[in-house]
Every structure is written in structure tokens, then in C-alpha cells.
Amino acid sequence: MASALNLSESLSAPSSPATVRPRRPRHPVRALAWLGLSLVIVAAFWSARINWASLADFPAESLKYLAALFGPPDWSKFGEAFTAMLLSVQMAWIGTLIGVIVSLPLSFLATAGVSPRLVAWPLRFVFAVIRAVPEVVVAILILSVTGLTPFTGALALGIGSIGTLGKWGYETFEAVDRGPSEAVRSAGGSPFDVMRWGIWPAASAEVLSLWLYRFEINVRASAILGLIGAGGIGKMLQDNVQFRNWDAVGMLLIVVIVITVGIDQLSGAVRQRLVTGRWGRSRQTRRPQTR
């Protein structure tokens, strides 16, 4: 009797509802963005007119030129190559100094909360315009004024540094703690006092490290500027490539790589010391974008 009662209750109990799967979310905007990006990539490869058949010969051709460059390089060109590379480093150093001297006060004026918007935003636009023009184009534009001299390359690097250092400067100033700035302002300090005593002490180490990082960039860019006749190691590279002196080109490349890597390592260690107080690089060292 009890079993029959339980059976009747089980039959009369409502059945559990069927499990309903949630609908898969759709993102039409994201899908259209990926589709547009794919079309841009395909169009870029299509318009480049790449000869895919020649890629099969690329490894063999690369080995042939590597053997011509470094098998063995022309060590008799070492002294001349070292002197030309030092000239490129001097161009980079002078260009960095020009960028630092001009960009530092302008980055102060472009800092939000220190200068009015009518001053800050036009300066930011000027920095963006300068960054949009490569240093090679700047050098070509000023050739008619300065001529084909190393000063042309240094001036082009200095103009390019103004745009980059100006942007990095006001971004660094805006990222510091505003407590000291408010204290200076509440004490009746002028905007100069706010920058001198409220912002600069907290941002100076980061700004100095950014100056050194820009110097690293200018060392690499100085070699490229030499290709248009601005002097330095780039001019020597252009002359030897033009006359197919591959063993001399190999010697020049060795000098460029060794000196550039050495400057990069030394500058990186100094920047690490400025920012963290420790010598040597760490994974937390932040490197900003050049553009």
C-alpha cells in the first residue's frame, strides 16, 4: 500500500524543467573590426607586389653576402670606422642636448594643471607634429640652410628629440603625486615654484632616464642620417656599399654593433640606477614608445 502511494506521488510530481543553454554572446562590432583589419593586411600584401618565388633564394643569397661581409672583414678599415662612429655618437649627443634644452621648459608648459589649456594643448599638438616627421625628412628639409655637414644630422636629431622628449616630459610630470604641488600652491607659490618644488623632485630621476634613452635612439638614428650625406658612419657605409666593398662594409657593421650595444648597456645601467637606485637592468624597467 505504501509503495503504491509513493508511486502515485512520483507520478503526480511535476517533472524538472529541461536545462536551457545560454545563448552565445555576439559582438558584431568586434567581428567587423577583425574583418576590417584582415582586409587591410591582405590589401597591404597585395599592393606590395611581393615576388614570393624569390623567397626561396633568400637563404642562399643571405649566406653569400654574409660570407662577403665577414669572411673575413677588412680590419684595415677599423681605425677609420671607429673615428666615423665617434662622429655619429657626437652627432647623437649634440642632438640630444638640443632636444633637452628646448623640450624641458616646453614640457613644463604642456603639463595639465600647471599651464592653462590654451597653452598646454597647442604645445602638445606641436610635439605630435614633430614626432610625425622622421629625422631623415627633417635633415633633407634643412640641407639647403646648413649644407651636408654633421651639424645637419645633429640639428635633425635635436628637432626630432624635441617632439619625443616633450611628450615624455609632460606625461611624467602629470604622473607624479600632486600632494607636494598642492602644498606649494596653497602656500602661495607661483607656477614656477610648483614645478620646481612640487613636481621636479619627484620626476627628475625618470626624466633623466628618458633623456638617456633618447640618446640611445639618436645613436642609432645618426647612422641612418649619414646615408644622406650628413657624415659619420652612415656616410662611410654608403660609399663602401656603392662600390661593393663588402669586406669593408662588414668591418663597419661590426663597429656599429659593438659601440651601439655598449652604449645601450651602459645607458641602461645608468637609467636603472636613476630610477630604482640599483645598478643593472631589471624586468620592471619601463621603456616608453618612440613614437
What pTM was computed for the model?
0.75
Give residue 42's pLDDT band: very low, low, confident or very high (50, 70, 90).
Answer: confident
221-264 tens-digit pLDDT: 888 887 777 778 888 888 888 888 888 888 888 998 899 889 88
User: Which one has a higher pLDDT value, 283 or 190?
Assistant: 190
Assess whether pLDDT exceeds 50 at residue 150. yes
What is the structure's pLDDT at 285?
45
Domain extents for the chain? 76-276
Give residue 132's pLDDT band: very low, low, confident or very high (50, 70, 90).
Answer: very high
Assess whether pLDDT exceeds 90 at residue 103. yes
d(CA 103, CA 123): 10
What is the structure's pLDDT at 130?
94
Question: How many CA atoms within 13 Å lie on the side-chain side of 272?
Answer: 14
Query: What CATH code is assigned to 76-276?
Result: 1.10.3720.10
